[in-house]
Amino acid sequence: MRIGVVNAGNIGRTLARAWIRKGHEVMLAKDGNLEKLDAFIAENPNALRGTIAEAAQFGEAVLFSVYWPRLDAVLDAVGSLDGKLVIDTMNPLTVNSDFEHSYDGELMARSSTSEELQRRLPARAW
């Protein structure tokens, strides 16, 4: 299967490593510092690297492992995910002006990151 990893952070890279071991084709994209992917690509030469839009387009399945405060910005880059399987690992973190993080209790009481992602996606994959 072709899998797009939208944000190859700690979790995204860990899952990508396991999927590559199982013979899946993986394209990794990253928000933030792109150089953090260099070591992974060197160790996993079968892995592809792309932009967020390219990884989302590449995948029959797309992993969303995004830093929650960046979700809307990442979704702007993703484009249509119509017909694709979407996997979510996210936690609903909020961040204040002192860069302190906490869980968004209001969101967690009424919804979940997967439901929010579904609501915000440009086209529904479910």
Ligand X SMILES: NC(=O)c1ccc[n+]([C@@H]2O[C@H](COP(=O)([O-])OP(=O)(O)OC[C@H]3O[C@@H](n4cnc5c(N)ncnc54)[C@H](OP(=O)(O)O)[C@@H]3O)[C@@H](O)[C@H]2O)c1
94 makes contact with ligand X (CB under 6 A): no
Of the residues 3, 4, 7, 117, which one makes contact with ligand X according to CB under 6 A:
7
- Nearer Cβ to ligand X (82/120): 120
In terms of CB distance, is 25 or 31 closer to ligand X?
31
Place of tokens 């992602």: 117
CB of 109 to ligand X, least distance (A): 18
Q: Cα separation of 42 and 20, whole Å?
A: 14
The token pair at 46 is 């079968």
Nearer to ligand X, 4 or 12 (CB): 12
Q: Are 7 and 31 in contact (CB under 8 A)?
A: yes
Interface characters, 43-82, with ligand X (x: CB under 6 A): ----------------------xxxx-x------------
Burial of 12 (0-12, 13-18, 19+ CB in 10 A): buried
Identify the three-state secondary structure at position 95: strand
Q: Least distance to ligand X from the beta carbon of 125, Å?
A: 18
Radius of gyration of the chain (CA): 15
Q: How many residues does the chain have?
A: 126
- Contacts to ligand X by CB under 6 A: 7, 9-12, 30-33, 36, 65-68, 70, 89-91, 93
